[in-house]
């Protein structure tokens, strides 16, 4: 079994995770979690990126499915390292349906990480793009357009991803909104293209060869 979630570790990005050891200590489950770049790496126990040692309550253990229950417990653990991840079965060599589902879950995890990972606007800086930041940018862009259309002055001090601040006028804020749209659209176009590749693949080996590659540089509004 594998949990898919993109996690930034001290040794780079990891996207697939397995519980490899569990011990009972002080009435809790002490786990050893191996973190790999891809699901294929996890299945083959190769290219280990990082290790974590999370703790679960003893009640999380199901003796009928010990490893699966622990990994599902990590997905459900609030504020845990794998909270919200996707639990999937291992890919059998000839199981095309499972291979497709696993690969798509992997691609979606990378898509979501990139969407929330920030974007650059030339001559201004890098902007955050998590869900809260995206909502703020959309709201500010709408306010800036309304003010500009009404011939009213508009400016806002914006905190960039590196925690420095810049003062933006209406045109600049609207450009940030367009840059955000280009950032999100480029990522989703890539994920849709990969989904089509996954569905068109004729065997599990072909599915396994599909990977996310960096989209072309995003156009930056002038």
In a domain? residue 104? no
Whether residue 125 sits in one domain with residue 76: no
Within a domain: 99: no
Query: 23: how many CB neighbours lie within 10 A of its CB?
Result: 9
Question: What pLDDT score does 90 carry?
Answer: 63
pLDDT-derived band at 122, boundaries 50, 70, 90: very high
Q: What is the pLDDT at residue 214?
A: 42
Instruction: Identify whether the C-beta of residue 158 lies closer than 8 Å to the C-beta of residue 166.
Output: yes
On whether both 46 and 119 belong to a single domain, the answer is: no
Q: Is residue 222 part of a domain?
A: no
Note whether residue 105 is domain-resident.
no
Over residues 14-39, mean pLDDT: 92
Q: What single string gives the DSSP state of each residue in 50-80? A: EEE--EEEGGG--TTSHHHHHHHHHHHSTT-
Domain match, 10 and 71 both: yes
Same domain, 71 and 23: yes
Cα→Cα distances 147→123, 168, 174, Å:
23, 13, 11
187 vs 35, 49, 52, 212, CA distance in Å? 24, 25, 29, 10
Assess whether pLDDT exceeds 90 at residue 81.
Answer: yes
Q: Which are the contacts of 8, defined by CB distance < 8 A and separation ≥ 6?
A: 14
146 lies in the same domain as 71: no
Token duo for residue 27 = 């009435």
3-state SS assignment for residue 36: strand
Q: What's the rounded Cα separation, in Å, for the pair 108 and 115? A: 10
Rounded Cα distance between 221 and 137, Å, is 15
Domain assignment present for residue 95? The answer is: no
At 52-68, the pLDDT tens digits run 999 999 999 998 989 88
Mark which of 33, 56, 90 sits at the end of a domain: 90
Cα gap 26→28, rounded to integer Å: 6
Calpha distance 181→138 (Å, rounded): 9
Residues 16 and 68 in one domain: yes
Give the per-residue pLDDT at 75. Answer: 94
Burial 36-54 (b: 16+ CB within 10 A, else e): bbbbbbbbeeeebbbebeb
Interatomic CA distance for residues 22 and 196, integer angstroms? 39
| Domain total in the chain | 2
Residues 129, 61 share a domain: no
Show the domain range for 16: 2-90
pTM, full prediction: 0.68
In a domain, 98, yes or no: no
Q: How confident is the model at residue 217 (pLDDT cuts 50, 70, 90)?
A: very low
Q: Which of 26, 55, 90 is the last residue in one of the domains?
A: 90
| Residue 181 domain flag | yes
Q: Does 61 share its domain with 8?
A: yes
Q: Find, among 58, 39, 56, the residue nearest to 47 by Cα.
A: 39
Instruction: Answer whether residue 63 is part of any domain.
Output: yes
Residue written as tokens 């930056």?
A: 220
Residue at a domain's end among 56, 90, 124: 90
**Interaxial angle between packed helices 170-200 and 96-115, expressed in degrees from 0 to 180 and rounded to the nearest 10:** 170
Q: Which pLDDT tens digit goes with each residue over 27-45?
A: 999 999 999 988 778 888 8
Strands (E), 105-164: 119-121, 125-127, 155-159
Same domain for 121 and 84: no
């Amino acid at each position: 079994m594998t949990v898919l979630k993109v996690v930034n570790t001290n040794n780079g990005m990891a996207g697939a995770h397995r519980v490899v050891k569990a011990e009972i200590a002080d009435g809790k489950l002490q786990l050893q979690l191996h973190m790999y770049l891809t699901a294929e790496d996890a299945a083959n126990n190769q290219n280990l990126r990082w290790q974590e040692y999370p703790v679960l309550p003893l009640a999380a253990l199901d003796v009928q499915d010990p490893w699966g229950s622990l990994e599902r417990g990590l997905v459900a653990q609030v504020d845990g390292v794998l909270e919200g991840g996707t639990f999937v079965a291992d890919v059998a060599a000839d199981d095309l349906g499972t291979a497709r589902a696993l690969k798509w879950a992997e691609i979606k995890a990378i898509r979501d990480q990139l969407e929330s990972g920030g974007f650059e606007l030339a001559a201004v800086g890098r902007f955050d793009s998590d869900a809260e930041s995206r909502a703020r940018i959309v709201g500010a862009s709408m306010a800036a357009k309304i003010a500009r259309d009404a011939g009213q002055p508009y400016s806002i001090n914006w905190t960039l991803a590196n925690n420095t601040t810049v003062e933006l006028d209406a045109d600049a804020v609207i450009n940030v909104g367009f840059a955000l749209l280009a950032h999100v659209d480029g990522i989703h176009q890539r994920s849709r293209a990969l989904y089509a590749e996954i569905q068109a693949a004729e065997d599990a080996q072909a599915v396994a060869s599909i990977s996310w590659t960096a989209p072309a540089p995003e156009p930056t509004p002038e």
